[in-house]
Amino acid sequence: MQAFDFGLLKITPFSVLDILLLAIIIYQLYNLIRGTIAANIFIGLTLIYILYFIVPEEKMPLLAGILKKVADVGIIAVIVLFQQEIRRFLLLVGKNASLQRNKAWWQYFFGKAQIEKDNYARIKPIIDACKSLKQTRTGALIVFAKYYDEQFYQNSCEVIEAKISKRLLESIFQKNSPLHDGAVVIAENKIKSASCILPLTEKTDLPTQFGLRHRAGIGVTEANDATAIIVSEETGEISYAKQGRVKMNISFAELEKLLNKDF
Ligand SMILES: Nc1ncnc2c1ncn2[C@@H]1O[C@H](COP(=O)(O)OP(=O)(O)OP(=O)(O)O)[C@@H](O)[C@H]1O
């Protein structure tokens, strides 16, 4: 393979690929921790590492010794502190490598129109339920899990295992229903569970009106390969969370598009 020689610097196609892949990984990591408390931890760790390299060991042995100790356990600290982010990063890599590709093949073989028709039939009861929940200002949190992680969801949920229906969703979220608190989880084309307590996002830059329901809706999409619809009890507004980001006040046409893509 041809290499370009600029004096000391030798650039080969592999070094370009190397830099490109590293840039993609850094960008994805930045996206995952942007606006979270992990970003501050990352800045803290980077500062400690910079200090470790610039503090002269012979002249300042005490500080250099402490920094060396911290730097030595750095990789373990990174794994412990960034557990959630590493999990999300690996999920992202796995998802891009398998599910998206399968979907494309599926569409190629079975035709886009037929798939969209089938999808609409699956999505309709959910959209109808959201319309009714919005109208009655009933708070709701519906999670769409690409992979139903039993350990993650079942510890804090009531198992349902039922066909998706507008009436069932409405009755679960009705204020006097014993299951209305918490989230409904939909996976494998079924309502798998209700009343789920989900992890809350640690994001610090969210709108002030976002309370626990919105935080849980965003949190679950950070920790899992999942998306979430949040219906606000206060305003009736519908928000949609995906990969730790949230789209606020979306229309039903938008919701249909998003579900078509993600569900
Ligand atoms: N960890 C959690 N997992 C799932 N659902 C939760 C969790 N914490 C709270 N909730 C749900 O959120 C409700 C409280 O919502 P809160 O008023 O704090 O949220 P909000 O984001 O302001 O939404 P709203 O606009 O509907 O008021 C609880 O009654 C419960 O159903």
CA of 5 to the centre of ligand 1 (A): 60
138 CB-near residues (< 8 Å, 6+ apart): 132, 170, 173, 174, 175, 231, 233
Q: Which residues of 95-125 are buried (b: 16+ CB within 10 A; e: fewer)?
A: eeeeeeeeeeeeeeeeeeeeeeeeeeeebeb
Determine the Cα–Cα distance for residues 183 and 198; give it in Å rounded to an integer.
8
pLDDT of amino acid 105: 60
pLDDT for the residue numbered 238: 97
Quote the CA–CA distance of 38 and 223 in Å, as a whole number.
14
- pLDDT tops 90 at residue 33: no
pLDDT of residue 112: 61
177 with 171: CB under 8 angstroms?
Answer: yes
CATH number of this structure's domain 111-262 = 3.40.1700.10
Closest atom, ligand 1, to C-alpha of 210: 21
User: What residue spans define the domains of the chain?
Assistant: 4-98, 111-262
What ligand 1 atom has the least distance to the C-alpha of 209?
Answer: 22
pLDDT of residue 6 exceeding 70: no
Cβ distance 169 to 143 under 8 Å? no
Closest-CA residue, ligand 1 atom 29, reads: 181
pLDDT value at residue 138: 96
pLDDT digits (tens, 9 = 90+) for 72-120: 887 787 888 777 777 777 776 766 555 555 555 666 665 666 656 667 7
Centre of ligand 1 to C-alpha 212, Å, is 4
Q: Residue 87: helix, strand or coil by DSSP? A: helix
Output the pLDDT for position 36: 67
Q: What is the atom index within ligand 1 of the atom nearest the CA of 231?
A: 26
Which ligand 1 atom is the nearest neighbour of the CA of 182? Answer: 5
Contacts of 116-122 spanning 24+ positions with Cβ under 8 A: 116/260, 119/259, 119/260, 119/263, 120/256, 120/260, 122/164, 122/189, 122/263
Return the amino acid letter for 228.
Answer: A
Q: Using a 6 Å CB cutoff, which residues line ligand 1?
A: 139, 141, 181-183, 197-198, 200, 210-214, 216, 232-234
Question: How far away, in angstroms, is 215 Cα from ligand 1 center?
Answer: 8
- Ligand 1 atom nearest the C-alpha of 156 is 3
What digits encode the pLDDT tens for the residues 220-252? Answer: 998 888 999 999 999 999 999 998 899 999 999
pTM of the model: 0.69
Which whole-number Å values give the CA distances from 119 to 2, 124, 251, 256, in the listed order? 49, 9, 18, 10
- Ligand 1 geometric centre to CA of 186 (Å): 18
Backbone phi and psi for residue 3, each to the nearest 5 degrees, phi listed first: -120, 140
Q: In the chain, what percentage of residues exceed pLDDT 70?
A: 86
Distance 85 CA to ligand 1 centre (A): 24
pLDDT over threshold 70, residue 69: yes
pLDDT grade, residue 122 (50/70/90)?
Answer: confident
Nearest CA to ligand 1 atom 15: 213
ipTM surpasses 0.85: yes
